[in-house]
Structure 1
Amino acid sequence: MDYTKALNIEPGSAICYSGYRKGQRPGVAYPSYEQVREDLLILKGHWKYIRLYDCGPHSETVLKVIKKEKLDLRVMLGAYIEAEMNNFGCPWGGTYPEEVLQENKIKNLKKIEKLIGFAKQFPEIIFSLAVGNEACVDWTDHYVPVESVIEYVKLVKSEAKQPVTFCENYVPWLHKLEPLVAEIDFISIHTYPVWEYQNILNALEYTKSNYYSVAHKYPDKAVIITEAGWATNSNGRGIDPGNVNEDLQDIYYNELVNWSKEANILTFVFEAFDEPWKGSPDPKEPEKHWGLFKEDRKPKLVMQKILETNQAV
């Protein structure tokens, strides 16, 4: 199904954006107006759509910058819902005291209400809404039952006019999330070949397989990709260091973008900038190295080539 009709948008390039720099992290310190403005001026020449993960201060600043600076950017805005159930199968934590789970339910409802509020406040900028991110996959540390996600979707749809989705790894869409599909306006999947031990030679085919396994299961529902990318560094935690570098990122990015255009699939590349706050303190932690730009905003190889090409035109 054509995503442009389901989302009421025109075709365009898309990227995930999180602007936290050295010393900044959610709940502690946030990028300033000028820092966000700098980032968005970098992004606007290459991408039309950006994805934001939550309704916190960072996302509010992004929305204000886009509006005040009159930038040609549209936003998929998410609400980052937290654990409402223990997930004993999560290898890096996922169990909490019962009082924390109950507190999270209250927090999640407030986040959903804030999502609705932003949707009403910035209708010309926000083109779609996501009620959560990787909250139902087996390995998540912030597990939320499918039934709760469905209730959040219904609440958002009752109040906001934008199309509503839920962002999740491709696997749960094949079985666990079947009841959710009927409630959302379009499906959003994540696909990471390098996290699943694939090399660059079969990476795109693996991404295609992930995508079409979901798209063919739900032919009457638009399916987009809200995360797909290639890291550039690793300490060996989950990713072979020999399987990630800037050359491989350049190859995967171009293959991914070219296929997405040919197949008419909206694909949010993960991600704009490296995020030093993520993962362990190890500087080679792979979670920190998915950006097309480094933390200091210098372009990596893939963007160097794109910038050189644009300058030559």
Structure 2
Amino acid sequence: MKLVHENAICYSGYRDGQNPREGLYPSYNEVKEDLLILQENWRYLRLYDCGPHAELVLDVINTEKLHFKVMLGVDMAAEMSNPNCPWGADFSQEVINANRQKNCDEIHSMIALTKKFDDIVFSVSVGNEASVEWTDHMVPVDSLVNYVKQIKKEIHQPVTFCENYVPWTYKLEPLVAELDFISIHTYPAWEYRTMEDALEYTKQNYYSVAHHYPDKPVIITEAGWTTASNGRGIEPWNANEALQAEYYQQLLAWTTEEKILTFVFEAFDEPWKGSPDKLEPEKHWGLFKVDRTPKLVMKDIYPNKVININKNNAVA
């Protein structure tokens, strides 16, 4: 299969006071506002689950006749404990059994949404970072294989799995045999790289997988640079808007030249993520701030953009 290179971005629309864990979701007008911003520069969106937020995004695209194509994801829960997870992932058998049922339900939701929005969903992912050694939602590879087989019986869209670059070259080989294409994540900043070798490191990550599977398409579904850090995992001096802009420009120049479909992480800052610390790096990967104003990386594309939230849904 051939994947067309277009501008692509990861999208979650959660604003201040909203949190999927608490069932607090963006409204129709808020999602519409986001998509009107994004449609100026992006064609492909990546969504992470099949819950109310994802269904709303697909509904807005359909109703407003926006020209997006969507990679729809599954939010996998842990089907086994993982002692290698630094923040803890030890689960009772009762929890694991409940998670397996949740995952089955999520797969059914994915299939239903994909059929409902058949002309918008261009591909699906069977999970996100559910096999890397540090994950808190580890899913056995054989379970992932079975989920892929189940999905392929129901829909015609290509199926992938989104994961850190490391597991692809060993434990995920049985899964690759079932996938239509491979989706990798690469984050130089999380691995203590500086801008001096960030792009080269990203290239190494990508080609380590692509060369391992010369007959399987490989895309990037997460790559980006955070603009703030409290020191957790990323040194504060290595997180700012200037560095984000530099990495973005280098990344897009390379992936455009090589025609590698790349979903930049991510559209908007998400304050619900990570710890309560406001400088937690998980909160600051957006190319736009949580108030929807552009960061430095977007100033050339949105030079005079002022986003007015909750004012008749205007985007000025």
- Give me the TM-score of the superposition, normalised by structure 1: 0.96
Q: How does 1:72-221 map to 2 (within 5 A)?
A: 72-221=67-216
Separation in 1 of the partners of 2:304 and 2:62? Answer: 30
The residue aligned with 2:14 is 20
- Output the amino acid matched with 2:20: P
Q: Say which of 253, 257, 271 aligns to 1:262.
A: 257
Separation in 2 of the partners of 1:308 and 1:24? Answer: 28
The residue aligned with 1:11 is 5
Q: Where is the helix percentage greater, Structure 1 or Structure 2?
A: 1
* 8 Å contact kept, 1:12–1:266: yes
Shift of 1:302: 0.6
Shift of 1:175: 0.5
Listed as ranges, the gaps of 5+ residues in structure 1 are none
Listed as ranges, the gaps of 5+ residues in structure 2 are 306-316
Q: Say which of 30, 33, 48 aligns to 2:28.
A: 33
Shift of 1:94: 1.0
Separation in 2 of the partners of 1:43 and 1:35? Answer: 13
* 8 Å contact kept, 1:83–1:144: yes
- Output the amino acid matched with 1:89: N
Q: Moved runs in structure 1, 4+ residues, more than 4 A?
A: none
Shift of 1:309: 9.8
* 8 Å contact kept, 1:6–1:185: no
| Other structure's SS at 1:166 match | strand
| Other structure's SS at 1:77 match | strand
| Other structure's SS at 1:305 match | coil
| Other structure's SS at 2:122 match | strand
The residue aligned with 2:313 is none
Shift of 1:305: 2.2
| Other structure's SS at 1:111 match | helix
Shift of 1:304: 1.1
Cα displacement string for residues 68-127 of structure 1 (whole angstroms, at most 9, x for unaligned residues): 000010100001110000001100111111100000000000100110111110010000
Aligned length: 304
The residue aligned with 2:309 is none
Shift of 1:246: 0.1
Separation in 1 of the partners of 2:297 and 2:128? Answer: 27
* 8 Å contact kept, 1:279–1:285: yes
Shift of 1:174: 1.1
Shift of 1:153: 0.5
